Amino acid sequence: MSSRRSFFLSALTAAQAARVMGANDRVQVGIIGLGGRGRDHMTMYSAVSECQIAGLCDVNQAALERGIAQVERAGGGKPRGFRDMQEVFADKSIDAVSMPLPNHWHALATIWACQAGKDVYVEKPASHNIFEGIKMVEAARKYGRMVQIGSQGRSASHKIKAVQLLRDGVIGKVYMAKGLCYKRRKSIGHKPDEKTPLGLDWDKFLGPAPLRPYNELRFRYNWHWFWDTGNGDIGNQGVHEMDVARWGLGRGLPTSVVSTGGKFGVDDDQETPNTQTATYEYGDAQLVFEVRGNLTGSEGGLSPEGGNVVGNLFYGTDGWMAMDSRGFQVYKGEKSEKVMEEKATREGEVHVRNFLAACKSRKLSELAAEVEIGATSAALVHMANTSYRLGRKLKFDASAMKFVGDAEANAMLTRKYRTPYVVPEKV
DSSP secondary structure letters along 144-170? T--EEE--GGGG-HHHHHHHHHHHTTB
Q: For 409-425, how does the pLDDT look when each residue is reduced to its tens digit (9 = 90+)? A: 999 999 999 999 999 99
Closest CA to 113 of 76, 143, 83, 138: 143
- pLDDT for residue 7 is more than 60: no
CA distance 381 to 280: 11
Q: Please, are residues 287 and 176 in contact by the beta-carbon 8 Å criterion?
A: yes
Residue 310: CB atoms within 10 Å: 19
Q: Please, are residues 175 and 319 in contact by the beta-carbon 8 Å criterion?
A: no
Residue 277: predicted pLDDT: 98
Q: Please, are residues 183 and 310 in contact by the beta-carbon 8 Å criterion?
A: yes
Q: Please, are residues 216 and 197 in contact by the beta-carbon 8 Å criterion?
A: no
The distance in angstroms from the start CA to the end CA of the chain is 17
CA distance 124 to 146: 16
Residue 3: predicted pLDDT: 41
Q: Please, are residues 141 and 364 in contact by the beta-carbon 8 Å criterion?
A: no
Q: Are strands 80-82 and 51-57 parallel, antiparallel or unpaired?
A: parallel
CA distance 270 to 263: 8
The H-assigned helical ranges of 143-272 are: 157-167, 202-206, 238-249
Which amino acid, 370? E
CA distance 144 to 123: 20
Candidates 3.30.1330.20, 3.40.50.20, 3.30.360.10, 1.20.58.1030; CATH matching 157-190+202-346+380-411? 3.30.360.10
Q: For 206-252, how does the pLDDT look when each residue is reduced to its tens digit (9 = 90+)? A: 999 999 999 999 999 999 999 999 999 999 999 999 999 999 999 99
Residue 272: predicted pLDDT: 98
Q: Can you give the residue ranges of every domain in the chain?
A: 2-154+349-370, 157-190+202-346+380-411
- This prediction has a pTM of 0.94
Is-same-fold flag (2-154+349-370; 157-190+202-346+380-411)? no
Residue 286 three-state SS? strand
CA dihedral 167, 171, 172, 174 (to 10 degrees): -70
- In the CATH hierarchy, which top-level class contains the domain 2-154+349-370? alpha beta
Contacts of 389 (CB under 8 A, 6+ apart): 227, 412
- pLDDT for residue 5 is more than 50: no
| Chain centre distance of CA 132 | 13
Residue 22: predicted pLDDT: 64
Q: Please, are residues 312 and 244 in contact by the beta-carbon 8 Å criterion?
A: yes
Q: For 298-314, how does the pLDDT look when each residue is reduced to its tens digit (9 = 90+)? A: 999 898 888 899 999 99
Q: Are strands 119-122 and 275-281 parallel, antiparallel or unpaired?
A: unpaired
